[in-house]
């Protein structure tokens, strides 16, 4: 897809993968609509993109606020006669054992509020424009850990699995109307979110810039999914032999966490 003159809406674009994707998409000629809660950081990024010769607009929004989200969407629709792509990239993660979460239902509620309901809310607000145009692409940032579930992230993985199902339903129902979707199954990426877990400082990860290229691929090539070979193989394995793969991988992840903890203390 040639991005010259195209309009791309990106949530969670004040930092990390979203900011890097915005830079790369703008460099390819897209007008990027930057959405996030942190207005100051959005303005810094917008100014940087414009100074580099790109086109960008900033929209401060909290996707968990229905009224604020509706107002931001209305402004985007008023500012841009055609919107070509929505990238649902904003996200939140919580790393906590299930046994420590038995009295913390709010952990699940907080993660679902942004990862699932926030993505569905904004998609629903822009979808009428996509249908009116006869085209529109929606990208959803997810994680390789839904392809091979890992321990300690039950709330996060549940929210991502939910939004993946929504993405597939959207494609199944409205693909014939010109609506397409891509799910991006990211491996670990070194961002502010992953940096909240100290032991991950010792884990090899993609850079945020590399993560941005995955979003660019989703926007330009529009495959049904963007994933790694390891993720694709794991997904097939979980479909065919879920019990065996889960039994084998669980102790492997425990050993990995122990090794990362030792290395991060050196």
For 173, other C-beta atoms within 10 Å of its C-beta total 10
Q: What's the number of CA atoms in the CB half-sphere (13 Å) around residue 128?
A: 5
What are the residue ranges of helices labelled H in the chain?
16-27, 39-51, 66-79, 105-112, 119-133, 154-174, 208-221, 229-240, 242-264
Active site residue 156: yes
Name the residue among 219, 142, 132, 139 with its Cα closest to residue 171: 139
Selecting among 59, 116, 156, 185, the annotated active-site residue is 156
**Distance, CA of 77 to CA of 72 (rounded, Å):** 9
On whether the CB atoms of residues 118 and 90 are closer than 8 A, the answer is yes
Residue 111 makes CB contacts below 8 A (sequence gap 6+) with 92, 93, 94, 155, 156, 158, 159
Sheet holding 179-186, edge to edge: 55-60, 31-36, 7-11, 85-88, 136-143, 179-186, 225-226
CA 260 – CA 201 distance, rounded (Å): 8
Closest CA to 257 of 204, 201, 199, 205: 199
Number of Cβ atoms within 10 Å of the Cβ of 242: 11
- Give the residue numbers marked as catalytic: 156
């Amino acid at each position: 897809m040639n991005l010259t003159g195209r309009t791309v809406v990106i949530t969670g674009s004040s930092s990390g993968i979203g900011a890097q994707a915005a830079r790369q998409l703008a460099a390819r000629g897209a007008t990027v609509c930057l959405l996030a809660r942190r207005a100051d950081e959005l303005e810094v990024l917008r100014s940087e993109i414009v100074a580099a010769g790109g086109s960008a607009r900033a929209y401060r929004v909290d996707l968990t606020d229905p009224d604020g989200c509706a107002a931001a969407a209305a402004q985007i629709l008023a500012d841009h006669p055609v919107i070509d792509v929505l990238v649902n990239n904003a996200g939140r993660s919580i790393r906590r054992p299930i046994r420590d979460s038995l009295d913390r239902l709010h952990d699940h509620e907080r993660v679902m509020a942004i990862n699932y309901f926030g993505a569905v809310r904004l998609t629903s607000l822009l979808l009428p424009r996509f249908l009116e145009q006869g085209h529109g692409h929606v990208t959803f940032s997810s994680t390789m850990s839904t392809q091979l579930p890992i321990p300690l992230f039950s709330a996060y993985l549940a929210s991502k699995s939910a939004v993946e199902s929504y993405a597939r339903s959207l494609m199944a129902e409205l693909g014939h109307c010109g609506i397409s979707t891509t799910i991006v199954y990211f491996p670990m990426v070194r961002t502010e979110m992953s940096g909240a877990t100290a032991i991950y400082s010792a884990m090899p990860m993609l850079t945020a810039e590399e993560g941005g290229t995955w979003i660019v691929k989703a926007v330009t090539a529009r495959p049904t999914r963007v994933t790694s070979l390891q993720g694709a193989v794991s997904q097939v394995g979980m479909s065919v032999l879920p019990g065996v793969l889960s039994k084998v991988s669980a102790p492997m992840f425990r050993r990995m966490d122990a090794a990362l903890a030792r290395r991060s203390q050196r």
